[in-house]
Structures are given as structure tokens and as C-alpha cells.
Structure 1
Amino acid sequence: MAHVTGDWHWAFRVTPCMGGVALVLLILLVPRRIQRRTEAHRALSIHGSIRVAAEKPGAQGAAKTSWCQDVTSLGKNWSFVWSSLGLTAMAFVTGALGLWVPMFLYRAQVALGIVQQCLEKSCNSSNSLIFGGITIGTGILGVIAGAEAARRLRKTNNRADPLICATSMFVSSLCLYIAIMVAQKNILSTFIFIAFGELFLSVNWAVVTDILLYVVTPRRQSTAIALQILVSHLLGDAGSPYLIGMISNAIQAKKDQSLQWSFCSLQYSFIICVFVGVFGGGFFLLTSFYIEEDRKEAEQL
């Protein structure tokens, strides 16, 4: 986009346009019947109550609850709480990788002598483009693989969803650790392990959403989704790039400026992402202890 328009800022101006296109497609392509159902469900969720539709005579609506009561109930739903913390760990790692991996790869290449240090304000590098392609490809494959794995394993294990998420987080953390460590020796291997790390990280996106939908009652799902998005971004990708950069600068300040130490400081700070990923896997393991009970409770309400 910078080459086409002459200004890198247009890369960020395209995103709202894509959102507008998505909105138009939703209006044009989603059947009106589904829209009415969605709107009715959203209205009922906001008011904290569910009323049975007119075409279902004889059924009785659920008791009304306030928004504060819904939030309190969600706080006692341990499957929701632990899976939300697991999602927050995923967002933390994703945000840090998205901002710092291209710079990390560039510093590794400079330290290895593959490229010369660029002292200009704007430097041409293929790392961002390659990493972006890896992120898109692994994101698509990961979501498909996660959904299919969950569909198959649910038939034999009621705790399959959180166990899939936990396993993928542990494997992703291992792959990212290897990528961080081999960067000072082989860039190609770094790209490969970053790809695997992002692939296993992406496995969880669809599965976490499924967990929320069946452990939370329908009238509270809108609130649950909003809270989960807020917490995951607020404690996850909103602050992780800043934290990684701050730690890297603090480490770098302990020694004299050098190309090797500049790379090592970012390498050491990236280790935090590995630990956060492991904690995320632990949160999903905790989810597996409560998911059956919470699912049954949601189905009964």
C-alpha cells in the first residue's frame, strides 16, 4: 500500500473501508429471516430476559434479570472465566508477534550479516510482507483445523474443546520458543517455527467461541461476548507490544549499543510471550475441569 499510494498511512485507512464492505455484504446477503432472529435475540439479551416466541404457545419465559446480575452470574461461571483468560493470553501473544516479529527478524538478519543496517527513516524489508502472508495463511488453516478437530473429538470426549485449546497453546509456545532461539543461527528455520506457532495459536479462535456459546445461557451471551472481547483486548494485545518494547529497551540499556545486543534484548523480551502462552494453556486446562457441569447448567436454564 505504501508503494501504491506513496504514504504508509493508507495501510491503516483501508481497514475501515473493508469493514464497510463487510457491512454491505451482511445487509445484502444475510436473509431477512436470520436478521430478525438475531435482532430479537440481541434485544432479549440486553434486557436480561428470554421470552418464548409467539409460535411456541404454552411455553413460559425465563425470569428477568438485571445486567449486573448477569455479570455476577458470568463471574461465577468458571468455564467462561478461565476460557476468557486463555483467550486473553492468545491475544497477548498475537499482539506482540504482530508488531515485533518483523523488527525481530530484521535485527536477526543484521546480526547475522545477511542485510546491512538501515539508518534511514523508512527501510525496505520483505519481513513484514512475508510475516503478514504467514499470519493470513496460518490463520485460515488454523481456524479450519480447530473447528474440524473439535467436531470430531467431541463425539468421544465432552472436554475435547478446552483440551484442544490447551494442547495447541502448549505446542504454539514450544514452536515460538524454538523460533526465538534459532533466529541467531538460521532465519529460514525461524520463519518455519513462527508459522507453526501461529498455526497452533489460530486453532483456538473458533473453539473458544464455541465454548462460550454452550456454557453461557442465550440471554447472557451478548454480555459474555462483550466482556470477553473487552478483557482479551484490554489485558492482551492492547498492552503486549508496549510491554515487550519497554522490556527490550530496559535490557538494551544495560550494555553499550551494538547490533548483537540490540537483537538479544528483543530476543530476551520475547520469552515473555512463551510464558504467557503456557499460562494460557493452563487456563484452558482449568476450563476442562468445569466445562461439563457448566454446560449442563446452561442447558437447563
Structure 2
Amino acid sequence: MADRDPENPVSDEKNEDINKDLELFTGISHRRSIIIVMILVYINLINYMDRYTIAGVLPVIANDFRIKDSDSGLVQTVFICSYMVFAPVCGYLGDRYNRKYIMGGGIAFWSVITLSSSFITKELITRGLVGVGEASYSTIAPTLIADLFLHDERSRMLSFFYLATPVGCGLGYIAGSKVTSAAGEDWHWALRVTPGLGVVAVLLLFFVVQEPPRGAAEGRIRRKPLTNSSWTSDIKSLLKNPSFVLSTFGSTAVAFIAGALSLWAPTLLMRARRVLYKDNPCQIAICSTDDSLIFGVITCVTGIVGVIAGVEISKCCRRKNPRSDALVCGFSLLCAQPFLYVSLVIAKKSLISTYVLIFIGETLLSMNWAIVADILLYVVIPTRRGTAAVLQIVVSHILGDAGSPYVIGVISDLISKGTPDSDLLRFNSLGSALIICAFVGVIGGGFFLATSFYVEKDQKKAESDSQDEDEEV
């Protein structure tokens, strides 16, 4: 049943009618659709948990391999690059073939590689292969949700789906640090947590998830399925879509910041602890797992609060302003930057104040995750959504989180070059390098605000183009 609004019973009846129509169009009951979303959320959760397990134990890995910050940043960069390379292939296949089989195969591959990487010393090579599995899933899952729900309920389901991103990240930090600590600083054990969960995900995909017809949620059931245009035509059309292009650059700024903070924030906090408690020196890589634990909890909570707040604020504002999605993304990203900037400046003076500022900044940063995905889905016709998702992912990774961890590491090394090594120097160099994120965030906020000038027009155009295709059939 759809959520009931006691102040608007007419809306409730309309939602019930929509759900009944969707069941006829898709052949999938509303209850089964919700179950499918829950399975997709579970898979998204363990994917991000696996991705950020390494970040929670990065100091141990750096100490084990005796590498500098720039080399540490490559661990995440290699993963993102492989993900970025295979995402277009998966998006192309996802627009044309059975999506649950593509996702299932990718997750099975990811689980095997993750488990294998825990027994292999060449971590960079295996982390690159893990990206193949995530590419098969993250590019396709939102399009599956789009074919099961409409309007506000689609936004809610997407927000539920993207809640798994911060929760998974937080669990990755926690599991990575705690398992490594329990295993006597052996970080390989941290990589053996998620493969078993991946096997469960594959079984759920094959035996529970049903594949809805593409475009079914829009009521476009016809005597023959939606026709696909050529890949080059899809790309040309997307590049002429201002809302898609501008929101993609906005999400790229978010990816840059998120990629840098997700890898380096736990390490920065650990270095800040060494500076603050220098009178009680520590001889191991991770003096305390508290920082990864606290940062993990903060990531979980701020993600949940931010995603829900972003969707609900945008939904309320949309009744008066159809451009609210882009405006919420822009203002939330701009407002996040002062808090993140100040948190970097005062980290060596007060960890408590730093955690509070990070909490506020990450909450604001998380507000646009689900909204950006929703914008993409309603300004792009159903047969191009997979390709659009892939193009957005590729751009946001190339210019965003594929390079930001490495760039931050390189800048940190340059700042500390030629200076006697110390805990204070390592903290100052990394903190100074991370300040670049604040400036990137301001640019990204500008792109989202620019999106607001086009989003209403592009949404109507997408609806019109889809309707024209219906009439041609």
C-alpha cells in the first residue's frame, strides 16, 4: 500500500489506482516490487561496505607496504578506474538484456575476487578487478526501480536505495578497523567479511527478483517492446540535454569530495589523535580503532538523515517550484563546504568539534545523492536511462573520485617533501591537501543551480518524446 496522507484522501486513492495499474503493466505486485527494492538495497549495502573496508585500515596497509600518501591514494583510484571502464559495457547491456542476470553475474565475480584478494599480496591488482562487479550493479539497479514505481513513490524508493550507500560506507570503516584489530593488525581478514554476503545476494537476485518491462511504470505497454536507438544516437541526445549535462558536473564535484574524504578522513583523524596525544606515543599503525568506528557511525547516520531530508525537502518544495530538485542539490552542497573546511582546520585542536562539523557537513553533502538519480530518471526517456547512468558515472569518476584520492595524496607528499618527518607534519600536509575539496564543492553547487534553469523544460521534453514513441507504435 502507498503511504496515506490523512489530509489528502484523494491523493491516497490516486496512489492506489496507480499501484493497481502498475501491477497490470509490470506483472509484479506492489508488495513484490517493494521486496525487490529491499534486495537491491541489501546488495548496494554490501557493495559499499566492501569498497570502504580498505579505507578503515589504510594506515595498516600503508605501514605494511611502506608507501607514501600518493601511493595509498592509488588503492581507491585503481578500483574506480576499473569500475569506470566496465560501467559503459554494463549500461549498454542493461538497456538491452535481462538486467538481473547481468547484476547476478557481476556480483558473483566481485565476491570471488574479493575473497581471492585476501590471500594475494598484490592488493592493487585485485582491487581493480573488484570494480567490475560493482559496475554491473550500480549502473542497472536504479533503472530497475524506475520501472517499478512512479512520481513521489519512485523518489522514496530511490532514497531508500541510496541510504545503503552511506550505511555501507560506515559499516566498511567499522568492519575493516575492528576485524583488523581483532586479527592482530592483519588487514587481509577484513576482506573476508563480504564475499559470503555476496553469495546470498546472488541467490536472492536469481530466485526472488523479477524483471519488469522497460518503461512499464510510465504505462507504455505496447504490442512490441520499447525500441532502442543506436548507442551513438543515445550519446548525442544526452549531450544535448542541459539538465543531464549540468547535473552530471554537479555530481562530479560531489564524487570528488566524497572520494577524497571517504579514503582520507579516517587517516586524518588518526593522525590528529597522534598530535593531540603526543605525550602518550603509540608504536603501531592504528593506535585506536575509535576514529574509524566514530567516522563510520557518522557516515551511516549522516547518510540516512541527509538522503531522507533531501528527498522530503525537495518533495515538499516541488509542489510550489518544479525546479526544487536542482535547487536543493545546489544549496545543500554550497552550505556543506564551510563546515567541512573548518573541520579540517581545527582537527588538531579538538576532535569533538571536528566530529560535530563533519557530521553537519556530511549531512548536507548527502542530501543530493538520491535527488540527482531522480533527476536523471525523469529528464531521460526509459530506453536511454542505463546509458545515461553510465555516462554520468564515467564523467563523475574520471573527474571526481577516480583521481581525488590520488591527487590529495600527491599534494600531501609535495607539502611534506624535504621536511623532517613527524606526526604534526603528516597531519598538516594531509589536512592542507584536503582543503581543495571545499573549493570543488562551491563549483559543484554552481552547476546544480544552473541545472534549475533547464530541469522543468527537459522533463517535459522527455515525457513528450516517450509519448511520441508510443504513438508511432
Q: TM-score range by the shorter chain?
A: 0.7 to 0.9
| Secondary structure of 1:92's aligned partner | helix
Choose which of 22, 47, 60 in structure 1 pairs with 2:201: 22
* Aligned residue in 2 for 1:68: 232
Pair 1:12-2:188 in alignment: no
Q: Any stretches of 5+ residues in structure 2 without a counterpart?
A: 1-178, 466-473
The answer on whether the counterparts of 1:102 and 1:127 sit within 8 Å (CA) in structure 2 is yes
Partner of 2:223: 54
Q: How many residues align?
A: 284
**Aligned CA distance change for structure 1 residues 246 and 184 (closer, same or farther; 3 Å):** same
TM-score calculated relative to the size of structure 2: 0.56
- Distance in 2, matches of 1:213 and 1:116, equals 54
User: Alpha-carbon deviations, 1:63-106, whole Å to 9, x = none?
Assistant: 75211010011111111111111111111111111111122112
- Mapping of residues 41-190 of structure 1, within 5 Å: 52-54=221-223, 65-113=229-277, 116-121=280-285, 123-190=287-354
Please list the CA deviations of residues 210-247 of structure 1 after superposition, one character each: whole Å capped at 9, or x if unmatched: 10011111111111011112222232222211111110
Name the CA shift for 1:300/1:284 in 2 (closer, same or farther; >3 Å).
same
| Counterpart-to-counterpart distance in 2, 1:217 and 1:207 | 17
Match of 1:2 among 180, 203, 208: 180
Whether contact under 8 Å (1:244, 1:269) holds in the other structure is: yes
- How far the C-alpha of 1:155 sits from its partner, in A, is 0.4
CA distance in 1, matches of 2:348, 2:402: 28
Cα pair 1:172 1:200 within 8 Å, conserved: yes
Given the two structures, how large is their TM-score scaled by the length of structure 1? 0.86
Q: Which amino acid aligns with 2:180?
A: A
Q: Give the distance between the partners of 2:279 and 2:325, measured in 1 at CA.
A: 44
Change (3 A) 1:64 1:164: same
Tell me the CA shift for residue 268 of structure 1: 1.0
CA contact (8 A) 1:95 1:238 kept: yes
**Structure 1 residues without counterparts, runs of 5 or longer:** 43-50, 56-60
- Distance, in Å, in 2 between the alignment partners of 1:147 and 1:28 is 31
Cα distance in 2 for residues equivalent to 1:117 and 1:86: 43
Change in 2 beyond 3 A, CA 1:78/1:145: same
Report the equivalent of 1:45: none
Flag the 1:256–1:66 CA change in 2: closer, same or farther, 3 A: same
The 10-residue stretch of structure 1 (81-90 or 256-265) with the greater mean CA deviation from structure 2 = 256-265
* Structure 1 residue 237 corresponds to structure 2 residue 416: no
Q: Which residue of 1 aligns with 2:361?
A: 197
- Report how far residue 117 of structure 1 moved: 4.2
Distance 1:265 1:85, change over 3 A: same
Larger RCO of the pair (alpha carbons < 8 Å, separation 6+): 1
% identical equivalent positions: 49
Aligned residues of 1:109 and 1:115 also touching (Cα < 8 A): no
Give the superposition deviation at 1:280. Answer: 1.2
Q: Give, in whole Å, the separation in 2 of the partners of 1:158 and 1:237.
A: 30
Q: Deviations over 1:156-210 (max 9, x none)?
A: 1111001100111011111101111221321100011111111111111110011
- The answer to whether residue 212 in structure 2 is matched with residue 36 in structure 1 is yes
Q: Quick check: 111-120 or 166-175, which moved more?
A: 111-120
* Distance in 2 separating the partners of 1:72 and 1:129: 45
Amino acid across the alignment from 1:175: F
Asked whether the equivalents of residues 163 and 285 of structure 1 are also in contact (C-alpha less than 8 Å), the reply is yes
Aligned residue identity for 2:435: I
Deviation at 1:122, TM superposition (A): 5.3
Whole-Å Cα distance in 2 between the matches of residues 9 and 154 of structure 1? 48
156-165 vs 290-299, which moves further: 290-299
Structure 1 distance, partners of 2:271, 2:305, is 29
Q: Deviations over 1:103-134 (max 9, x none)?
A: 21122222223674434355443111111111
Q: Where does residue 270 of structure 1 map in the other structure? A: 434
CA distance in 2 between counterparts of 1:194 and 1:131 reads: 9
Equivalent residue of 2:435, what SS? helix
Q: Which residue of 1 aligns with 2:23?
A: none
* Equivalent residue, structure 1, for 2:87: none
Amino acid in structure 1 at the alignment position of 2:419 = K
1:252 alignment partner in structure 2? 416
Counterpart Cα distance in 2 of 1:87 and 1:17: 32
Residue 288 of structure 1 corresponds to which residue in structure 2? 452
**Equivalent residue, structure 1, for 2:162:** none
By how many angstroms is 1:62 displaced?
Answer: 7.4
Do the aligned partners of residues 41 and 164 (structure 1) sit closer, same or farther apart at CA in structure 2, a change above 3 Å counting?
A: same
CA–CA separation in structure 2 for the residues paired with 1:121 and 1:263: 14
Q: Could you tell me which residue of structure 1 aligns to residue 80 of structure 2?
A: none
